[in-house]
Chain A
Amino acid sequence: MTTLSRSWGNMTTLGKVVVPLLLLVLVGGPILTIAVGLWVGPWLLGVLSSNMGIVRFVVAITGVLLFSIPAAFIIIYMELKVIAQMNLRVGPDRVGPAGAAHSVVAGLKVLTKEDFTPKSADVIVFTWAPVIVFLTAVMTFLVIPFGPGFIDPVTGERVGGLVGQDMNIGLLYMFAVGGMTVVGLLLAGWSSFNKYSLLGGLRSAAQVVSYEIPLTLSVVGLILLAGTMSLQGIANQQEGWFTNWFVFRQPLGALIFFIAATAEANRTPFDLTEADSEIVAGFATEYSGMRFGFLFFAEYVNVFIVSALITTLFFGAWNAPIDINAILALVGLTPPVIALDPGSLGIGLLVLIGLAPVVLTALFALPFYLAKSSRPAWKALLIGFVLFNLFAMGILTLLAYIGWGWFAGLIWFFIKSFAFVFVFVWMRGTFPRVRIDHLMGFAWKWLLPAALLNLFLTATAIVVVKSL
C-alpha cells in the first residue's frame, strides 16, 4: 500500500487525472462492450433491420460524402500532373511519391487560411452558398450506379446494386439536383456585395441554364430507347458486348451530351464562369479559406459526376466491354463459379494464413539472395516481402474480380469514369477558351437544334421499327 501511495505522490497533477481515467477505460471498456454485445446489440440490430431503408440511405450518404473528397483530390492531382506533362513540364513532384499528396496538402492549406467575409456581405447567404454548391454536387452521387447488384443466393436474381438509391426517376433527379447548383452560384455572387461577383454569378447562371436544355434534351432519345429513367436500369440494358452501349445507338446524343456536360461542369473550353487566367474569378471573387475550398471541390466533384454520367448513359456503366462468358461459351468452357467462402477451408484456412506469408516471402526472396552474393539476407527478405504483398494483392483482386460481380463492375466503372476525367483534363490542356457570345450562340443555335433533331430521329426510328 505504501508503494501505491508513494507512486501517487510522485505523479504530476495531469497524471493524477489521466491514470484513473485510464483505469476506468481499461476496466469499464470491456464490461461495456460485453454489455452492448449481449443486450443492446441485438436490440439495435433489430431496430436497424426493421428500418433498412433509412439505414441504407444514411450509409449511402456517408459513403458518398466520404468518397467525394478523395475523388476531388485525385482529380485535382490528375489535372495538375497531366496538364504539366502536356506542357512538357514535370508538374508537382515534391510532396509524396511523384507529388501525389500535393492536392491533399493544398486542401490543408485552404483549411488553415483566413475565412474572410466582406463587411457588407449577407453573412447567412454568404456562408451557406458554398454549402449548397457542394451539396448539390455530392447529392447527385446518390443515384450513380457504381456496380451491379449482388446475386441473391436464393432466387439467383440481381438485387439492388452499388447505388445509393436506385430511383425510377434517377436521371430526372440527377438533372434537377444538378440544376440547383445555379442557385448556389447566384447566391454566392449576390451575397458577396461585390458587383463583379454578382456579374460573375449572373454570367455562370446564364451559361449553366442555357446548357441545361441541350443536356437534358440530348438524353430524351436515350430515355425513349431505354424505356426507363433509372440509371441502374439503363446500366442493366447495356450488358454484354460493348456494341450494346448506347453510344452506338445514340452517337449524336452522346456528342451533344458530352459538349453540354463540359459546359455544365464549367470545364475548358467553356469555363467562362471562372476563367481564372483572364478575368476575376466570377462568383467566387470574395471567397477565401475553406468556403472557397468548397466551391473548388464542388467543381472537381462535378467533373467526376459528369464523367460518371457519360459512362453510365452512353458507355455501358459498370459493364465490361467484352462479354467474357460468351467467349468462354464459344470455346466450349463454362464460366468458372468461384464462391469466395474462406470458411469452407476449415482448419486449412488457419494453416494457409500462418504459412503462406512466410513461405512465399522466402520463395520470392530466394532468387534475389542467390543472384547477388553481396546482397545481405535481410534486404533479399525485404524485397521478397514486398513482392509477396504485391502477389497477394494481385491474387485477391483477381479472385474478387472473378467471384464478385460488383467488384468487377466497380473496377470497370472507375476505369471508364477516370478515362473521361482524363479526356476533360486533356481538353483543358488543349483548347483555348470560347468567347461568351460564341458560347451562348453555340448552345442555342447548334446544340439545341441538334438535340431536337436527335430526339426526332430516335422517335421516328422507334415508331418505324414498331410498325414493321
Chain B
Amino acid sequence: MSFIPGIGLVRGMGLTLRRFFQPKATIKWPEEKADVAPKFRGRLQLLYDEYGTLKCETCFQCAQACPIECIDMGGVDTKGRFHVHWGPPETYGERREESALRRSGRPVADTAYAHFEGIDIAPLDAILDAHDYDPKELLAILEETQAEYGYLPVAALKHISRITGAWYAQIYGTATYYRHLRFEPPAVEAVAPAGQAQIAAEDGFRSALDAALGYGGRAN
C-alpha cells in the first residue's frame, strides 16, 4: 500500500501522539461514577421464575454476545433430553467438573444420562414374574411398568428386553406406538387455578351488587 519504507512507523507514531492529546476514557471510581442507563442492573446471575425453575432457556444468546467469550455454558436442554454445550471443550466449567474429575479416576455422574439408570428393578421383576416373562404380553407389562414408575425409564426397557428375550427395538417400537406410554416423567400436573373458587365467589358478589344497585338482568 505504501511505497515509502517506514511510512507505517511514522503513521503509527502520529496515531499515538493524537491519542496523547485526546480526552481520556478512565473513570476514576469511586470519585467519579459511570453514567449508566437506569435500566442497567449489571447482575451476573441466572434468574428464577415464580415456580422456582431457572429462567435460562439455554439459548446461548448471552454466550454469542459476550465480547470476550468468557461465557461457557453446559447443561441439559429445556426438554431434559440432550446435553448441550457452548464454548471450547476442556475449559472452565467442564475442567472443574467432568473432565478433571474423570481424569482423577472417579466415576462422574453425567446429568444428561441420569434417566438411563438408577431405577429400582425389584417392582419390575415382580411385574415380569406376574406375566410369566412372556413377551406376548408386552403391552400389559409396559402399562404396568409405567404405572409403577410414572414413565418408561430406558433402564426398565433394557431390563425387560434382557429378561423376556424380546428385542429392544421391538419393545421400543411398541412403547413408542402407543401414545399413552411416555419416556419422560410427566410434566407438572395441571393444577386447577387457585382462583377458580374465588372467581365464582366474585360472580356471586357482583350479581348481588347488581341486584342491590338495580342493574338486574345483566349478563355475566
Contacts and interface: CB of A to CB of B under 8 A. Distances in A.
A430 to B, nearest CB: 4
Contact of A88 (B9, B12, B24, B28): B24
Given A90-B26, A90-B28, A85 B20 contact: yes
Contacts of A429: 16
A114 B165 CA distance: 76
A427 interface: yes
B220 interface: no
B25 interface: yes
A461 B129 CA distance: 114
A88 B16 contact: no
B25 A86 contact: no
B15 A89 contact: no
B22 interface: yes
Contacts of A430: 9, 12-13, 15-16
A85 B12 contact: no
- Which of the listed residues B23, B24, B28 has the most CB atoms from chain A within 10 Å of its own CB? B24
Range of interface residues on chain A? 10 to 19
Q: Interface range on chain B: under 10, 10 to 19, 20 to 34, or 35 or more?
A: 10 to 19
Interface in A323-348: none
Nearest to A94: B28
A358 to B, nearest CB: 40
Interface string A390-421: 00000000000000000000000000000000
B17 interface: yes
Contact of B24 (A90, A426, A431): A90
B19 A85 contact: yes
Given A89-B25, A430-B15, A82 B9 contact: no
Contacts of B15: 430
A368 B138 CA distance: 105
Contacts, number: 34
A427 B17 CA distance: 10
B24 A89 contact: yes
Contacts of A82: 20
A405 to B, nearest CB: 34
Contact of B25 (A88, A93, A427, A431): A88
A431 B6 CA distance: 12
A88 B13 contact: no
Given A430-B12, A431-B9, A431-B12, A85 B24 contact: yes
Contacts of B25: 88-89
A88 B22 contact: yes
Contacts of B9: 430-431
A87 interface: yes
A352 to B, nearest CB: 43
B5 to A, nearest CB: 11
Contacts of B22: 88
A86 B25 CA distance: 11
Contacts of A426: 13, 16-17
A82 B22 CA distance: 12
Contact of B26 (A86, A89, A427): A89
Contacts of A89: 24-26
Interface in B1-33: 9, 12-13, 15-17, 19-20, 22-26, 28
A86 B20 contact: yes
Contacts of B23: 88
A86 B16 CA distance: 5
B13 A87 contact: no
A86 B13 CA distance: 10
Interface string B81-107: 000000000000000000000000000
Interface of A: 82, 85-90, 93, 426-427, 429-431
7 contacts: A82-B20, A86-B20, A88-B25, A89-B25, A427-B13, A429-B16, A430-B16
List of 10 A-B pairs having minimum Cβ-Cβ separation, nearest first: A90-B26, A430-B16, A86-B16, A88-B25, A430-B12, A86-B19, A85-B20, A86-B20, A429-B16, A89-B26
Given A87-B19, A426-B17, 17 more contacts: A85-B20, A85-B24, A86-B19, A86-B20, A88-B19, A88-B23, A88-B24, A88-B26, A89-B24, A89-B25, A89-B26, A93-B28, A426-B16, A427-B13, A429-B16, A430-B13, A431-B12
